[in-house]
A and B are shown apart, each in its own frame.
Chain A
Amino acid sequence: MKATPTPGADRAGSRAPLERIVGLVLVVAFVAVSVFVSLPRGTPATDALVKEAGGTAPSDHQQAPSPAERLRRQCGVILAAGLTLIIYSFLYRDNALFKIVENLYVGIGLGYGAIMTWYLSLKPEVVDPFLQAADRGDLLDAVRLRSVPILLGCMLVTRISKRFSWPSRYAYALMIGWGAGIGIPITVHTFVLKQLEAAIRPIGLQGLAEAWSSAGMFSTAFWSALAAPAGVLLILVGTVSVLYYFFFSVERGPLGRAVSKIGVIFLMISFGASFGYTVMGRISLLIDRVQFLLTVWLGVAR
């Protein structure tokens, strides 16, 4: 993910040996630090090891991991730290090591997906009912309930072949047709009617009227009583103006432009909120990795 490539091809030539040396030094430093950190220095390292990948500190319920298990986890933590630093090397420049790790990650994810699909879906749903059917009745049950979906599944797999892919259309037709059909009433129920019901709130003027009559215009009671109706009004104005902003069937007169301007204000505040939250989310991911490197790999911070 090269944000900006190296400036000018000629420059790279003269800098390559320097980068290679620095790269080598970094790798050696990494290995040295990893070995030094994981030398047995009493319990802190093992606590850290057990806590790696977000685990929890061992308590009395857990038995301490066996030496072989501890070694496996130590090597795992060093490997994980290495991969993390290689991926961060992309921030300096896109490099071969990063591309290797990125593609390795895609491959591992692919293999993991295949295995999990087998163990958690195809084996329990397709193979086990027939394999572990104790008596005839059980086998007949399995055939009755599962033969049609398995047939449809095999038809779906024909999508892979170029020429003979029309049977997959029936499987897709059933799934997408059913999904579209059931989707309409559920979308209307959850995303239209329920939202409508929540949006039609009466503006509670009684509380405001009482506060006005009892405590007068400028009392704090009046202002606090103003909060609820103002909130309802604000949400109403915001929702209607945003809906009008995405309205295309009528040319916008002066009033139309004003309403869509209000709509833009609400939209921009909500996009600002999303912007702020997205930045917060990305930083949390960075913090998680830095905490892993510092506490689990180096065992520095607690």
Chain B
Amino acid sequence: MWYKRTLPLLVVFVAGLVGFCQEYVAHPAASRLLEIVTTWFRIIGGFALFIGLWSLLHMHAGRIRRRPPGWGYSLFVFIGAALMIGTGLYNSGSGPLAAAPGEGSWFQWMYTYIQVPCGSTIFSILAFFMASAAYRTFRARTLEAVLLLLAAAIVMFGRVPISELVSPYFSKVSDFLMAYPNLAAKRGILLGISLGAIAQSLRILFGIERSYMGAGD
């Protein structure tokens, strides 16, 4: 049916064209349009966030239904979610229609003493794996790897204050590496990525790329 397939693609093209043209229009009507459209998308953004949370919950519910090995752990996802939603809506007594939970609420307590430590610790584990990989995996097999490891060593040593004790030149060379060769290469990569991003936007506008439309007819 045309209203399931072709009309959305037409909407994409028209919305894209309006977004493209308003960038070149100086008339205050363009900034008024921009304010209205961005307010709309801010409100829709809230619903989009819910879809993200729903799909994650849905996936874990599926695991509990199908019971693959280790499904028991998915129960803790629901326990954690229930705890937070419960304390959040309770909101230290003032209910869901008042302002966001404050400093004294159990919601804030669980965030500060469970989510913050877990989140920062899980990522800090990578430092250990970085160390073990430094010993076993980062081998200068090819010329490229030699250059990479040399530059990495100079930058790593130049960035910590202890290098001042050895000689001030380490941080100077490290700054030079960052401000000239690194800058040139990153600018080259950035330009390549930007041209790719424009081509991608173009494919979306002309309906060539439609994977975001989702499955189904």
Contacts and interface: CB of A to CB of B under 8 A. Distances in A.
Interface of A: 1, 3, 53, 69, 72, 75-77, 79-81, 83-84, 87-88, 90-91, 99-123, 125-127, 131, 145-146, 148-150, 152-154, 156-157, 159-160, 162, 165-166, 168-188, 191-192, 195, 199, 231, 234-243, 245-246, 263-273, 275-280, 282-283, 285-286, 288-289, 292
A123 B96 contact: yes
Contacts of A131: 97
B74 interface: yes
Interface in B157-199: 159-160, 177-178, 180-195, 197-198
A178 B110 CA distance: 39
A261 to B, nearest CB: 9
Among A75, A88, A113, find the residue whose CB has the most chain B CB atoms closer than 10 A.
A113
25 contacts: A53-B113, A72-B109, A102-B122, A104-B77, A104-B79, A105-B114, A125-B46, A145-B39, A149-B41, A166-B4, A177-B205, A178-B16, A191-B197, A199-B187, A237-B184, A245-B188, A268-B144, A268-B151, A269-B147, A271-B148, A273-B177, A276-B155, A276-B156, A277-B159, A289-B117
B187 to A, nearest CB: 5
Shortest 5 CB-CB distances between A and B: which pairs? A107-B80, A238-B184, A111-B84, A272-B151, A242-B188
B62 interface: no
Given A91-B128, A177-B16, A282-B127, A269 B122 contact: no
B15 A110 contact: no
A277 B130 CA distance: 12
Given A102-B118, A187-B198, A242-B192, 13 more contacts: A91-B125, A103-B80, A104-B79, A107-B77, A108-B118, A125-B46, A131-B97, A166-B3, A173-B12, A181-B20, A268-B148, A272-B155, A280-B160
A77 B36 CA distance: 46
A108 B80 contact: yes
Contacts of A168: 214
A272 B152 contact: yes
A105 B177 CA distance: 40
B19 interface: yes
B14 A177 contact: yes
A114 B53 contact: yes
B44 A153 contact: yes
Interface of B: 3-4, 7-9, 11-20, 22-24, 36-37, 39-58, 60, 70, 73-85, 88-89, 96-97, 99-101, 104, 107, 109-130, 132, 134, 144-145, 147-156, 159-160, 177-178, 180-195, 197-198, 200-202, 204-205, 212-214, 216
A92 B19 CA distance: 53
B216 to A, nearest CB: 6
A180 B205 contact: yes
Determine chain A's interface SS by DSSP, over half rule: helix
Contact of B188 (A79, A88, A184, A239): A239
Contact of A104 (B19, B80, B181): B80
A180 B23 CA distance: 12
A269 B36 CA distance: 46
A154 B52 CA distance: 14
A264 B144 contact: yes
A256 to B, nearest CB: 16
B148 A156 contact: no
Contacts of B120: 285, 288-289
B139 to A, nearest CB: 14
A156 B48 contact: yes
Among B40, B53, B55, B195, find the residue whose CB has the most chain A CB atoms closer than 10 A.
B40
Nearest to B7: A170
Nearest to B74: A103
Nearest to A111: B84
Contacts of A266: 181, 184-185, 188
B211 to A, nearest CB: 11
Contact of B11 (A105, A154, A173, A236): A173
Contact of B101 (A119, A126, A183): A119
A278 B167 CA distance: 23
A236 B15 CA distance: 38
A129 to B, nearest CB: 10
Among B41, B160, B181, find the residue whose CB has the most chain A CB atoms closer than 10 A.
B181
A114 B85 contact: yes
Nearest to B16: A181
